[in-house]
């Protein structure tokens, strides 16, 4: 793990992973920022040949992963170098799985279903939120079933990650805000997860404080060095915790907003959390109290406020609202939305320590619609 504004100087370290990487990235960022050229020069300096697949779309599909895996094999590559946000990094991990496992990608969705060890994985994040640079997850869209699926396996933990906050300086305010909310939702869901433990609680509490302080600064001034550093750190630390806790209802319910309404992953994952927290406040009081303390501190003589209010306060500062109306969802869309959310959030229901019924899902959606 390399962290800091000079870490790309350490790129030659990837030579210990293999002889020829497939660079996996999106269509634009690495080109218009000159990043690709910079990395290619460094690889040439150490006589490493490379191939490139730059067709990763936002929310990558099984088809895209399979195309990239063909390129990997056709070009004689022996490791992957993913450069970009969660989409490019998750694609790189999934390609690594297919590099050594011959069945279709669908066979590897689920917990620890990867049989043969994947090829080595190097990653360079260019956003701050997903945490993919340190996680054992790869989330891919299964277009046949119009849903998101996850490969969860320790075997796809990255071998090397180069985390350079300066790569996020050009990220626009909306993507800065939304990716930051992704990291925040990882923390909140981590605290509420049935798999939370004292270590993940410490990581998530610290990270919530960092995000609360620095996300509005990063949204306001994208070139603020300290804010960008703190947000990249937040993403990373939340990702470490995510490996233990997984996500739960915020992500599970948000998937449909991304699939059907093209809402960015981070904003979508946070959308329903204020109403979810409100609804479970009494039935899951002990963990909600931990969350409240994370948001407002645990000082004597200080009245503990509620997390929902603090989340909304933060969102106002970054010009986003937990409201379906603001993303164009109207009353007439709600029935269909509820049906789709019920289908897409089933897996996340397994990761909660409280009862949550389909009526609860409906209530959360309706309250978020009207707020």
Contact positions vs Fe ion (CB under 5 A):
182
Q: Residue for token digits 């730059």?
A: 54
Closer of 127 and 153 to Fe ion (Cβ): 127
How far is the C-alpha of 308 from the C-alpha of 188, rounded, in Å? 11
What pairs with residue 137 in β-bridges? Answer: 152
Tokens (6 digits) for 51: 């191939």
Tokens (6 digits) for 4: 């800091």
Q: Compute CA distances 353 → 195, 208, 224, 250, 277, whole Å.
A: 9, 21, 39, 14, 13
Closer of 101 and 178 to Fe ion (Cβ): 178
Q: What are phi and psi of 302, to 5 degrees?
A: -110, 125
How far is the C-alpha of 171 from the C-alpha of 161, rounded, in Å? 19
Whether the CB-CB separation of 274 and 263 falls below 8 Å is answered with no
Whether the CB-CB separation of 56 and 66 falls below 8 Å is answered with no
In the complex, least distance from residue 250 CB atom to Fe ion, rounded to whole angstroms: 9
In the complex, least distance from residue 321 CB atom to Fe ion, rounded to whole angstroms: 19
Residues 6+ apart with CB under 8 A from 283: 354, 355
Whether the CB-CB separation of 135 and 77 falls below 8 Å is answered with no
In the complex, least distance from residue 135 CB atom to Fe ion, rounded to whole angstroms: 9
Closer of 182 and 308 to Fe ion (Cβ): 182
**DSSP secondary structure code for residue 57 in this structure:** P
Closer of 77 and 236 to Fe ion (Cβ): 236
In the complex, least distance from residue 211 CB atom to Fe ion, rounded to whole angstroms: 13
Closer of 54 and 127 to Fe ion (Cβ): 127
Closer of 182 and 229 to Fe ion (Cβ): 182
In the complex, least distance from residue 9 CB atom to Fe ion, rounded to whole angstroms: 30
In the complex, least distance from residue 12 CB atom to Fe ion, rounded to whole angstroms: 31
Tell me which residue has its CB nearest to Fe ion.
Answer: 182
What order of strands is seen across the sheet that includes strand 110-111?
110-111, 147-152, 137-142
Closer of 230 and 269 to Fe ion (Cβ): 269
Closer of 129 and 165 to Fe ion (Cβ): 129
Q: The dihedral of CA 256, 69, 58, 135: what is its sign?
A: positive
In the complex, least distance from residue 183 CB atom to Fe ion, rounded to whole angstroms: 8
In the complex, least distance from residue 298 CB atom to Fe ion, rounded to whole angstroms: 27
Whether the CB-CB separation of 134 and 1 falls below 8 Å is answered with yes
Q: Which of 161, 156, 117 is nearest to 7 (CA)?
A: 161
């Amino acid at each position: 793990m390399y962290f800091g504004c000079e870490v790309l100087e350490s790129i030659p370290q990837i030579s210990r992973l293999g002889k020829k990487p497939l660079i996996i990235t999106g269509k634009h960022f690495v080109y218009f920022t000159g990043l690709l050229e910079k990395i290619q020069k460094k690889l040439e300096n150490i006589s490493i040949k490379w191939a490139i697949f730059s067709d990763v779309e936002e929310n990558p599909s099984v088809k895209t992963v399979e195309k990239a895996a063909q390129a990997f094999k056709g070009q004689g590559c022996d490791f992957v170098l993913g450069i970009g946000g969660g989409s490019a990094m998750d694609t790189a991990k999934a390609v690594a799985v297919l590099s050594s496992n011959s069945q279709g990608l669908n066979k590897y969705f689920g917990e620890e279903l990867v049989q043969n060890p994947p090829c080595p994985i190097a990653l360079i994040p260019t956003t701050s939120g997903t945490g993919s640079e340190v996680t054992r997850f790869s989330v891919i869209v299964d277009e046949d079933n119009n849903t998101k699926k996850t490969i969860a396996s320790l075997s796809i933990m990255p071998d090397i990650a180069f985390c350079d906050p300066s790569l996020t300086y050009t990220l626009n305010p909306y993507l800065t805000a939304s990716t930051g909310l992704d990291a925040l939702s990882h923390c909140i869901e981590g605290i509420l997860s049935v798999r939370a433990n004292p270590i993940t609680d410490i990581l998530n509490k610290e990270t919530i404080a960092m995000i609360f302080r620095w996300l509005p600064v990063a949204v306001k001034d994208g070139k603020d060095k300290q804010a960008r550093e703190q947000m990249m750190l937040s993403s990373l630390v939340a990702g470490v915790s995510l490996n233990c806790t997984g996500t739960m209802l915020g992500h599970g319910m948000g998937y449909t907003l991304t699939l059907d309404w093209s809402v960015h992953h981070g904003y979508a994952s946070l959308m329903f959390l204020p109403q979810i927290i409100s609804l479970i406040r009494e039935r899951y009081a002990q963990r909600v109290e931990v969350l409240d303390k994370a948001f407002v501190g645990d000082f004597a003589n200080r009245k503990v406020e509620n997390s929902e209010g603090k989340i909304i306060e933060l969102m106002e500062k970054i010009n986003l609202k937990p409201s379906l109306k603001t993303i164009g969802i109207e009353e007439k869309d709600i029935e269909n939305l509820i049906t789709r959310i019920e289908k897409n959030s089933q897996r996340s229901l397994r990761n909660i320590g409280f009862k949550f019924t389909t009526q609860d899902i409906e209530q959360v959606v309706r309250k978020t619609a009207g707020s």
